[in-house]
A = this chain, B = another copy of it.
Amino acid sequence: MAVPYKAPVKDVIFAYDVLNSYETLQNIDRFKDFSSEIAIPAIEECAKFAEEVLAPINSIGDSEGAIFNNGEVKMPPGYKDAYEKFKKAGWASMSLPTEIGGGGMPYTLSGGTLEVLCAANMSFVLGPGLSIGAISGINFNASKEQKDKYLPKLVSGEWTGTMNLSEPQSGSDLNHITTKAEPQSDGTFKLTGTKIWIGSGEHDLSENIIHLVLARLSGAPEGTKGISMFIVPKILINEDGSLGARNNVNCISIEEKLGIHGSPTCVMEYNESIGYLVGEENRGLHYMFTTINEARIRAGGHGLACTIGALQGAAQYARDRVQGRPVGMSKEDAKNSTIIDHADVRRMLMTMKSYSDAMRYMMYDSQMMLDLSYFAEDELKDFGEERCGLLTPIGKSWISDLSVELTSTAIQVYGGMGYVEETGIAQYFRDARIAPIYAGTNGIQALDLLFRKIPLDGGNAVSKLFGEMQSTVSEIEKLENFNHLSNTLKFHINELKNVTESITGLLIDGELADASGSATPFLKMFGQVLGGHYMGKALVKAHEKFTESNDEFYKDKITLSKFYLEQLLPLASGYIDAIKSGNEDLFKIKSNNF
């Protein structure tokens, strides 16, 4: 039996404090009243929903999975009912703008709800997450008429949406998309082609599914500059808004996957399917990118969520399991001890808990930057866009890679029982494994960081972030007794700055191939140090809160930051030599000799 998920409400709320979320969002007109008085009850309500509705069907979603039968996909037992409740409670649209019927809450808040809902049941939440992508794709780029036609029911959750990018020959590289769109005399288009990796491309939760599809008009320029975006509804919509004829778009199979069994991953066949152009021709990839950032940040959220679920399981198992006598403990004391009293088990739990705090701050901060980029004005908007751009690849990759490692650690805490599916802990490990892959593999993220994000604003974007990191060091220096921590953080920030400078030098010199070989270790190091920056901020905030309240919770946060800065942050240095090594040795061995 999986350990029942209990949402860590106080941790979520503390993260908002660490990030000064309320103060930051007050600079945005529509969020000026956003405060802990709104955030706390919202997260509490979300916690209740996640614990009571989503968590109980997580295991069954895994063991039974979504089932494909003759073009239709039957979702796991309990999903339909949960989806009705999900819709009604408004979780599908909480952070969508009120103008289109959403809850009007900041993305910052949906960082927390994403974590909580996903930790309870990642497979379930993936579908609505893709709807949000489709909604944003339409809302930012489609005509008023299209928005009026599709958004209300997508936002309410009556319909769901999908994102159709990949094709068998065109995954990470969208240059080679071949799905064709032929213009019809009535202004519509007929789409023909096969799309893969379509999450929730077919299911039985909603009466209609609205596919956002990338396709190529005949005569369009080659490559990504010739891709257009289309709306292709599963069921066509009549003039009066009622459901009309079934469109010729079909799910022809679903993938049998390592995890997220409750989320159908569909192969979709478009065969002269009726579609509607969104915006201008050949601007499809540009439009899609507005939603891709969000999807990448969410992928980090999935990693965080799996880690939290796994941590809770491991902690409970460690508290319950009686086994062995901890080193140095008397036989008498050991009679009441469980494996949580073993230093090595503690190290595993501390590692998971400390990392997951850093992951949380990083993910929520990216969400907050989405708010700035979408809703702030002038310089603050620019700052939000830039910072969001910089944080996204780091957060997506660092968090998702760690989530695989840490859910594996949770299995280790369970020992043999961790390898048995019945305990539910292996599900987190299997589910987490997708996060480094989708929404752009982590290798792609590393290239994005290096070639697109580090050079942002002539390097000023990253310089500003380093400046903030230095401020964190200064803040810690002001506290008593934590000088060794500020020193460690300072040391690693400086190492990161040096490495960034040397890699920027390669970019300036046009040594792009060489730089590309360093992209992944560079991202890993950046993530580890950025995590240190957040844990430093958390230390300062926790210290302040503990002084005010004497609440043990904040003392624990101090410990977790200390643990990160002392014991986890130093792993950052281990990547330097790999970063500096260039890519010569990577290519010395012939392909066939591997």
In the complex formed, the residue of B with least CB distance to A257 is B419
Taking CB atoms, residues of chain B closer than 8 Å to A173 are 323-325
Query: Contact between A587 and B346 (Cβ–Cβ < 8 Å)?
Result: yes
Is there a chain B Cβ closer than 8 Å to A172's Cβ?
A: yes
Taking CB atoms, residues of chain B closer than 8 Å to A171 are 323, 415-416
Is there a chain B Cβ closer than 8 Å to A478's Cβ?
A: no
Contact of A591 among B258, B340, B577 (CB under 8 A): B340
Query: Contact between B258 and A426 (Cβ–Cβ < 8 Å)?
Result: yes
- Give chain A interface residues in 339-360, CB to chain B under 8 Å: 340-350, 353
Is there a chain B Cβ closer than 8 Å to A442's Cβ?
A: yes
Check A576/B581 contact, CB under 8 A, given A328-B512, A519-B344, A559-B588. no
Majority-rule SS of A interface residues: helix
Can you list, as one digit per residue, whether each of A54-85 has a CB less than 8 Å from chain B (1) or not (0)?
00000000000000000000000000000000
Query: Contact between B408 and A433 (Cβ–Cβ < 8 Å)?
Result: yes
Q: How far is the CA of A172 from the CA of B589 in the complex (A)?
A: 43
- Give chain A interface residues in 486-542, CB to chain B under 8 Å: 512-513, 515-517, 519-521
- Number of this chain's copies in the assembly equals 2
- Give chain A interface residues in 300-322, CB to chain B under 8 Å: 311, 315, 318-319, 322
Query: Contact between A256 and B421 (Cβ–Cβ < 8 Å)?
Result: yes
Is there a chain B Cβ closer than 8 Å to A378's Cβ?
A: no
Output the least CB separation between A269 and chain B (Å): 18
Is there a chain B Cβ closer than 8 Å to A434's Cβ?
A: yes
Q: How far is the CA of A342 from the CA of B559 in the complex (A)?
A: 42
Query: Contact between B566 and A581 (Cβ–Cβ < 8 Å)?
Result: yes
Q: How far is the CA of A577 from the CA of B572 in the complex (A)?
A: 12
Check A346/B517 contact, CB under 8 A, given A571-B574, A574-B574, A585-B566. yes
Taking CB atoms, residues of chain B closer than 8 Å to A520 are 344, 347
Is there a chain B Cβ closer than 8 Å to A412's Cβ?
A: yes
Query: Contact between A315 and B415 (Cβ–Cβ < 8 Å)?
Result: no
Check A344/B415 contact, CB under 8 A, given A324-B173, A349-B594, A512-B328. no
Can you list, as one digit per residue, whether each of A378-414 has a CB less than 8 Å from chain B (1) or not (0)?
0000000000000000000000000011001001100
Output the least CB separation between A11 and chain B (Å): 11
Can you list, as one digit per residue, whether each of A554-573 has a CB less than 8 Å from chain B (1) or not (0)?
01100110110011101111
Q: How far is the CA of A418 from the CA of B590 in the complex (A)?
A: 23
Taking CB atoms, residues of chain B closer than 8 Å to A175 are 324
In the complex formed, the residue of B with least CB distance to A349 is B594
Is there a chain B Cβ closer than 8 Å to A446's Cβ?
A: yes
Taking CB atoms, residues of chain B closer than 8 Å to A346 are 517, 583, 586-587
Q: How far is the CA of A282 from the CA of B506 in the complex (A)?
A: 68
Query: Contact between B323 and A412 (Cβ–Cβ < 8 Å)?
Result: no
Q: How far is the CA of A301 from the CA of B407 in the complex (A)?
A: 23
Query: Contact between B172 and A344 (Cβ–Cβ < 8 Å)?
Result: no
Contact of A327 among B322, B327, B516 (CB under 8 A): B516
Contact of A434 among B328, B419, B571 (CB under 8 A): B419
Q: How far is the CA of A570 from the CA of B171 in the complex (A)?
A: 34
Taking CB atoms, residues of chain B closer than 8 Å to A344 are 443, 446-447, 516-517, 519-520
In the complex formed, the residue of B with least CB distance to A586 is B346
Output the least CB separation between A107 and chain B (Å): 27
Taking CB atoms, residues of chain B closer than 8 Å to A593 are 552-553, 556
CB-defined A-B contacts under 8 Å, sample of 12: A327-B447, A327-B451, A327-B512, A346-B517, A404-B408, A408-B433, A412-B437, A559-B585, A567-B581, A568-B578, A570-B578, A574-B574
* Contacts from A to B (Cβ < 8 Å): 166, 169-173, 175, 196-197, 255-259, 311, 315, 318-319, 322-329, 338, 340-350, 353, 404-405, 408, 411-412, 415-416, 418-422, 426, 429-430, 433-434, 436-438, 441-443, 446-447, 451, 512-513, 515-517, 519-521, 552-553, 555-556, 559-560, 562-563, 566-568, 570-578, 581, 583, 585-594
